[in-house]
Amino acid sequence: MEKPSNEVIQKANLLVERGKVRKDVETDKRIHFTVEGESETHSVIFEKGKGEWKCDCKFSSLHQKRCSHILACISKKTKLI
């Protein structure tokens, strides 16, 4: 997994600051988040067992690296704990 670029990190910070990240459901295996993006809303899932993050946006599937939505959720999760 490549390091996220500064641009992606800045986007993620903005998403958190603007309250665009919402924790939905937490089960034994997963945590579901909803992130309100610029044009669409994205679903981000954290797989607890593997420690893996997944997002349904194009950036994430095209580049195989962490998108701003995932980084925003990581930041939110860290603050929750």
Would you count residue 57 as binding Zn ion (CB under 5 A)? Answer: yes
Would you count residue 20 as binding Zn ion (CB under 5 A)? Answer: no
**Contact region for Zn ion (CB under 5 A) — 21-29, 36-44, 46-54, 72-80?**
36-44
Which of 45, 55, 71, 73 is the binder for Zn ion (CB under 5 A)?
55
Return the sign of the alpha-carbon dihedral for residues 74, 55, 68, 72: negative
Amino acid present at 6: N
Cα–Cα distance for residue pair 38/46, rounded to 1 Å: 22
Would you count residue 67 as binding Zn ion (CB under 5 A)? Answer: yes
Which residues are CB-contacts of 53 (< 8 A; sequence separation ≥ 6)?
Answer: 44, 45, 46, 47, 66, 70, 73, 74
**Contact region for Zn ion (CB under 5 A) — 5-13, 17-25, 46-54, 60-68?**
60-68
Would you count residue 60 as binding Zn ion (CB under 5 A)? Answer: yes
